[in-house]
Amino acid sequence: MLEQLQREVRKFGTDQIFHFRRPLTSHLIETGRWIAKWGGPHALVAAAAFHSIYGTEEFREKAVSLERRPEIQEIIGEDAEALVYLFCLADRHAFFSAQAAGAYSVPLPSLGTLAELDEPTFAALLELEAANIVDSALHQPDAPPAAGRFWLDRFKSVKPWLSDGAYCTAHEVLTAWNADTVRERMKMEGWLTEG
């Protein structure tokens, strides 16, 4: 499944867009790989493989404009694309405060609106964010140690909405976020075979 998704996402030039010094394609597919490893449903794996295709508030490079949403829906399905759309447009920092407010909603700053979410959608977006951050952390060995603590605290705050696999992996990766442990984890997961 991920091989087919990789072929599809590459059609949008993701090999020429870089995400922390590697092709965006790698980040997208490896994020999908985490979701699959955690037992996520097909639609969530597909969403992960396209999760930042429209750009995000923090990763502003757009491989595809929003006008091409029907094309992405055709490739990954409407449910998966709806998650991608929300993930790309949402203020993702609000994911971690939404549950405290007792409502599942997130701002979509570029649209000047608020998206009301049901609990399964909220949980799916958190799972996507966990996979996104885990994959990013594994490819940023020089990030400051405070980054790991920052994200770990955030994932602890939403633990009830994360799968056990997502939470345990995030906890393991973010607790030991330094160059040596990142390289060891990459070897263990099969992403780094040399050195």
* Residue 195, pLDDT score: 40
What's the confidence (pLDDT) of residue 118?
Answer: 92
The confidence score (pLDDT) of residue 182 equals: 57
**pLDDT, tens digit (0-9, with 9 covering 90-100), for 83-97:** 999 999 999 988 888
CA gap 111, 54 in Å, rounded: 14
141 to each of 106, 167, 170, 177, 182, how far by Cα in Å?
Answer: 30, 20, 15, 7, 6
pTM, two decimal places: 0.88
- Looking at residue 145, what is its pLDDT? 72
User: Could you give the angle at the alpha carbon of 25 between the alpha carbons of 69 and 71, nearest 5°?
Assistant: 15
Domain locations in the chain as residue ranges: 2-189
What would the pLDDT profile of 65-79 be if each residue is shown by its tens digit?
999 999 999 999 999
CATH class of the domain whose range is 2-189? mainly alpha
pLDDT tens, the chain, 195 aa long: 899 999 999 999 988 888 777 899 999 999 999 999 999 999 999 999 999 999 887 766 787 899 999 999 999 999 999 999 999 999 998 888 866 556 788 899 989 999 999 999 999 999 999 999 999 888 877 777 788 888 999 999 999 999 999 999 999 888 877 555 555 655 665 554 444
pLDDT at position 37: 96
pLDDT at position 63 is: 77
Please choose, from the candidates 158, 154, 155, the residue with its C-alpha nearest in 3D space to the C-alpha of residue 99: 158
Measured over the CA atoms of residue 56, residue 64, residue 9 and residue 17, the dihedral's sign is: negative
Give the model's pLDDT for residue 171. 92
